Structure 1
Amino acid sequence: MAISAVAQPSSSPAPVLDSAGRPLEHGVEYYINPAISDNGGRFTLIDRNGSCALYVGQENVSGLAGLPVIFTPFNENETVTRENRDFRVVFSAATICVQSTAWKTGKIDPETNC
């Protein structure tokens, strides 16, 4: 006897899961940790050259929790971050630099080479 199952397409992509296997929820603070616990430390905001140009970076010291981030689905009607969907990541932190703590991707800044 053979049993087979055919995956049925769902109406929405699967949720992104946290390390406990729960979907990432809007408005909840999460800490980003390295997959290998003995390989580096917390994710944080780094100010290179004292210019207040903040970048996402990983510290070399392990053990500290780092700065929490909040994942927000780009679609405001969503409450869970899903695979293959746009989302925002913002550090839940205060800074003396007058700029957003949102995690952005893009081209290298020609002035700072970062």
Structure 2
Amino acid sequence: MLKRKDIWDEIQTSQATRKARGLSRADTAKTKPGDRNGSASKKYKDEYGPGSVPDGYDVDHVIDLQLGGIDHVSNMRPLDASVNRSMGAQIHYLIKDLPEGTKIGNVIFE
């Protein structure tokens, strides 16, 4: 279960809920991420332009690399930096002791 930060506003909460729903619909499993070739932000901005990521946002992997997502612009989108970093860290913490290949089912966000 992923937790909402008390300081998040409606937009941030909505973005976190959307990400959790997307992960629930995806076929995810704990995966050791491969080597990345450059930053997600640079790849995304090279593809969509320097103004494509608003201030205060990170480029998020829609399906996290640690859950089997690919490191390609088709799996990236801007996401509030606090939401991106918090959810990534929470997912890492929750799956860190699971064996590689463990299927991840319903991602619950509260």
Query: Would the TM-score normalized by the shorter structure come out above 0.5?
Result: no
**What's the TM-score once normalised by structure 1's chain length?**
0.24
Which structure has greater strand proportion? Answer: 1
**What's the TM-score once normalised by structure 2's chain length?**
0.25
Larger of the two Rg values belongs to structure: 1
**Which of structures 1 and 2 has the larger relative contact order (alpha carbons within 8 angstroms, sep 6+)?**
2
